[in-house]
């Protein structure tokens, strides 16, 4: 096994052990879709496999989770093999978060992820589960409140057309 393959194996083994330890000591932890609510920032990196070659890939994307299994995004910036792509506002998706704080997230006609949330919903870890990708990242809650409605609403809510609070 080469050094790179060994590094990936050790990293994956540690991630499994750490995630199991984080959830096993909390018998009274119960998550649901409502655990994820508010504005978050997703950052991820990894590789996209094209013609058998690994190309580096990274993304930064604000997300608003509504606590009901839906989310929206005002856009994203991705770098694939050094080429920058910007996604327009108005993207959205769905998610399901089980009582064990483990679930899935789906962007229509796009990537799907397995998700692992902290019991309070402040942090989440995601790994892409479709396509020829080795891609994972973190999601951190910026605020538990949804964007405000009306003239004083946030620029992110205005651009994305996101639902808002009164």
pLDDT values of the chain reduced to their tens digit, one per residue, 166 residues: 455 554 554 444 445 444 444 444 556 779 999 999 999 999 999 999 999 999 999 999 999 999 999 999 999 999 999 999 998 888 899 999 999 999 999 999 889 999 999 999 999 999 999 988 999 999 999 998 876 665 544 554 444 445 564 4
What's the pTM?
A: 0.73
Between CA 138 and CA 133 the distance in angstroms is 16
Other C-beta atoms lying within 10 Å of the C-beta of residue 112: 14
Give the max Cα distance, the chain.
59
CA 139 to chain CA mean position, Å: 5
Query: Among residues 42, 89, 98, 99, which one has the least CA distance to residue 65?
Result: 42
CA atoms lying within 13 Å on the CB side of residue 131: 17
Query: How many angstroms separate the CA atoms of 136 and 129, rounded?
Result: 10
């Amino acid at each position: 096994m080469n050094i790179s393959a060994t590094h990936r194996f050790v990293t994956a083994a540690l991630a499994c052990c750490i995630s199991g330890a984080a959830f096993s000591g909390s018998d009274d932890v119960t998550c649901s879709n409502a655990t994820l609510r508010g504005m978050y920032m997703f950052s991820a990196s990894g590789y996209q496999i094209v013609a058998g070659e690994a190309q580096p890939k990274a993304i930064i994307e604000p997300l608003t989770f509504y606590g009901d299994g839906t989310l929206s995004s005002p856009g994203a910036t991705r770098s694939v093999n050094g080429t920058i792509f910007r996604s327009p506002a108005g993207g959205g998706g769905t998610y399901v978060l089980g009582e064990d704080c483990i679930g899935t997230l789906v962007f229509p006609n796009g990537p799907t992820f397995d998700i692992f949330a902290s019991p309070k919903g402040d942090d989440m870890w995601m790994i892409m589960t479709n396509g020829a990708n080795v891609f994972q990242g973190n999601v951190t809650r910026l605020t538990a409140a949804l964007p405000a409605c009306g003239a004083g609403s946030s620029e992110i809510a205005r651009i994305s057309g996101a639902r808002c609070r009164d």
